[in-house]
Amino acid sequence: MPISGVQTVTPELARVLKHELAHAFVTQITGGRCPQWLNEGVAQYVEPRSLASHGRRLVATFHSQQQIPYNVLESGFLNLSPAQAMLAYDESLAAVNYISETYGSGDVQRILERVGSGSSLEAALRQTIHAGYGDLEQEVARYLAAKYGN
C-alpha cells in the first residue's frame, strides 16, 4: 500500500494500516479462502475497533433473532443494504471478540490455518472451539448480553 508523501502517521492512518495489513495476513494464512465475515472481523479486531457504541443494539438484534446468520454472511456483504452491511461488520467483530476473549487469539489463528488447509470455516470452528454456526450465534448472543446488558 503506497503511502508516499506521508509525513506523520496519524491515529486514523495507523488504524487503517492495521486493518488492511490484517486483511493481507488473513489472505496469506487462508490462501484466500477466508469468508468475508471472518476476514472483516479479524481486521476490525486488529485495528482495534470497539463494539461499545453498538453493543446494546447488537444485544437486541440477537435477542429478537434479527441477526444475519453467519452461514449467510459466508457469501459476502455485497448484496446487503447499508444497514445490513453495518450489522454484518458488527456481527463479524462480535464473533472474533467472543472467540478471542473466550478461547484466546491463538484459536482465531488456528481457525484461519485450518481454513487455509482446506477445511470449511464451519468445520474449522467445530475443530477448534467445538461449535458450528448455530452454536456460535447462541454463544455470541450470550457474550454480548453479558458484556452490554440485556
Q: Per the structure block, which three cell numbers stand in for 51?
A: 463494539
- Percentages helix, strand, coil for the chain, rounded to the nearest 5? 70, 0, 30
Q: What residue spans define the domains of the chain?
A: 11-148
Kindly report, residue by residue over 105-146, the tens digit of the pLDDT. Answer: 999 999 999 999 999 999 999 999 999 999 999 999 999 999
Cβ atoms of residues 134 and 125 within 8 Å: no
User: What does the alpha-carbon distance between residue 27 and residue 112 come to, in Å, rounded to a whole number?
Assistant: 9
Q: Identify the pLDDT of residue 7.
A: 80
Torsion of CA 121, 129, 59, 19, to 10 degrees: -60
Contact 30, 112 (CB under 8 A): yes
- As given in the structure block, the three cell numbers for residue 5 are 508523501
Whether the bond into 48 is cis, omega within 30 of 0: yes
The pLDDT of residue 5 = 72
Q: Which residue has the cell 488447509?
A: 117
How do residues 49-105 score in pLDDT, each as one tens digit? 999 999 999 999 999 999 999 999 999 999 999 999 999 999 999 999 999 999 999
Angle between helices 121-129 and 105-116 (to 10 degrees): 140
pLDDT score of 1: 55
Tens-place pLDDT, residues 92-114: 999 999 999 999 999 999 999 99
Rounded CA separation 146/69 (Å): 20
Q: How far apart are CA 123 and CA 73, in angstroms?
A: 16
Q: Which residues fall within 8 angstroms of residue 142, CB to CB, at 6 or more apart?
A: none
The pLDDT tens digits for 16-28 are 999 999 999 999 9
At residue 150, the pLDDT reads 72
What is the reported pLDDT for 2? 57
